[in-house]
Amino acid sequence: MDGDRWTTVGRGDSYAKTGLARRSPGVGVSDHGAGQIDTQALRRYRLGRVQAELKARDIPAILLCDPVNQRYATGVRNMQPWALHSTFRASLVPAEGKAIAFEYAGSQHLAESLETIAEVRQATPLFGAGAESVGQPADPRIDRWAKEMAALVREIAGDRPRLAIDRHLDHFSARALEAEGIELLAGQKLMSRAQAIKSAEEVACISVSVAVAETAMHRLREALEPGMTEIDLWAILEQTNVAYGGEYMDTRLLSSGGRTNPWYQEATDRIVRPGELVAFDTDMVGPFGYDADISRTYFCPPGRPSDAQRRLYGLAFDKLHHNLELVRPGASFREMSEAAYLLPEEFQAQAMAMVWHGVGLYGQWPTILGRGFFDDEAEDGIVEPGMVLCCEAYVGAKGGLEGVKLEQQLLVTETGYELLTLFPFEEALLGRAL
């Protein structure tokens, strides 16, 4: 892999020919500094992707309020989880040139040294802004913010002041911009498309996050014994991520025994008992802010898995690998859905609608649905080289005792895919040698 060019590999069974997962760099670098990864190339590529999408739609600029979108476009990292539920930070990204960053008072220095940023301003705090009852005047902070932003948009856009916005701009602020004569356009889809195709540097960052996640998965597996709680186990994932420079966890999806069915249950103080299954999804935002999204299901010793547990695991394993082999450049989402693995009828009621999804700084576009879920409202598209996808499988009967969750992360190449995940599956649960 050289620069932004992709090395050609074969189908999934030959992914080891290029070994991207085994060539991951160290964790002692950051996406806003110098090191083994060309972080300036990383930021240039990402800003360029956003600006190409703006130009293709004839949009002069986009206002980003989602901190993940801001980080993608500019490289600014500033209290990411906190910023997800606050209304301070923003970035105004023009179709040409550098961005203007609006940062929390006292933290402006975090953006000042980045080559993607032309200017850093103190952000207007909009906590609790907006009228609380009918007839109240507009909040002066919103008016002040809107006038400042509208003036910048006019400088960029001229006689046609149009602005794309992402999903995190609140309703009252959007209305205030419109009152200033700014035409607003939806910008989240634009950002999703920009982030879909990864550069070589992005894949390297993802590989580091995956390596940290797999380290945590190994530690969890080695520590698993009766008497531990689900929280005890989840803490291993959290601690390992932090110890290796990771940032945060998007979820706490870990369950045991009867709580593995249905899926989407977060860790509690439930005590794990011998002979039970423990299933988890890492959802780990690692050292560079990139998501390692891997799922495995373990068996808590002592003893041997039951026939029922092995059947669940075997079906999930077969479903996962069948659907992995449908990933190829040029495939449409619809044709992948129509060819997806169909579970036996007893498991269909709880089958996951989402079989494949994009992943980057978070779980993202595209979402590709499994067989029986693709309808007229489902978004079709084409798989492209450079996409990083996750392939998921969950098997659990409605009303059944337990369930199994498995998931792999992969890079789409010119001829197929390459797994970025190296962690093995459970031979005892498969009942056969891998």
pLDDT tens per residue across span 160-198: 999 999 988 988 899 999 999 999 999 999 999 999 999
**Which pLDDT value is given to residue 214?**
98
Delimiting residues of CATH 3.40.350.10 domain(s) in the chain? 39-195
Is residue 360 within 8 Å of residue 198, measured between CB atoms? Answer: yes
Which fold, 39-195?
Answer: Creatine Amidinohydrolase; Chain A, domain 1 (3.40.350)
Measuring CA to CA, which residue among 219, 222, 278, 207 is closest to residue 243?
219
* Coil, helix or strand at residue 303: coil
Using pLDDT thresholds of 50, 70 and 90, give the confidence band for residue 18: low
Average pLDDT, the chain: 90
Predicted TM-score of the model (pTM): 0.90
Q: 163 forms bridges with which residues in the sheet?
A: 184
Residue 148 exposed, middle or buried by CB count within 10 Å (0-12, 13-18, 19+): middle
Delimiting residues of CATH 3.90.230.10 domain(s) in the chain? 197-430
Is residue 414 within 8 Å of residue 385, measured between CB atoms? Answer: yes
Using pLDDT thresholds of 50, 70 and 90, give the confidence band for residue 57: very high
CA trace torsion 407, 409, 412, 417 (10° rounding): -70
Which fold, 197-430?
Answer: Creatine Amidinohydrolase (3.90.230)
pLDDT tens per residue across span 233-245: 999 999 999 999 9
**Which pLDDT value is given to residue 5?**
36
pLDDT above 70 coverage of the chain, percent: 90
The Cα 284–Cα 238 span in angstroms is: 8
pLDDT tens per residue across span 373-403: 999 889 999 999 999 999 999 999 999 999 9
**Which pLDDT value is given to residue 137?**
55
Which of 122-131, 338-347, 358-367 is the least confident region? 122-131
pLDDT beyond 80 at 36: no
The Cα 48–Cα 95 span in angstroms is: 9
The string of DSSP codes covering 157-173 is: HTTS-EEEE-TTS-HHH
**Which pLDDT value is given to residue 140?**
84
pLDDT beyond 50 at 433: no
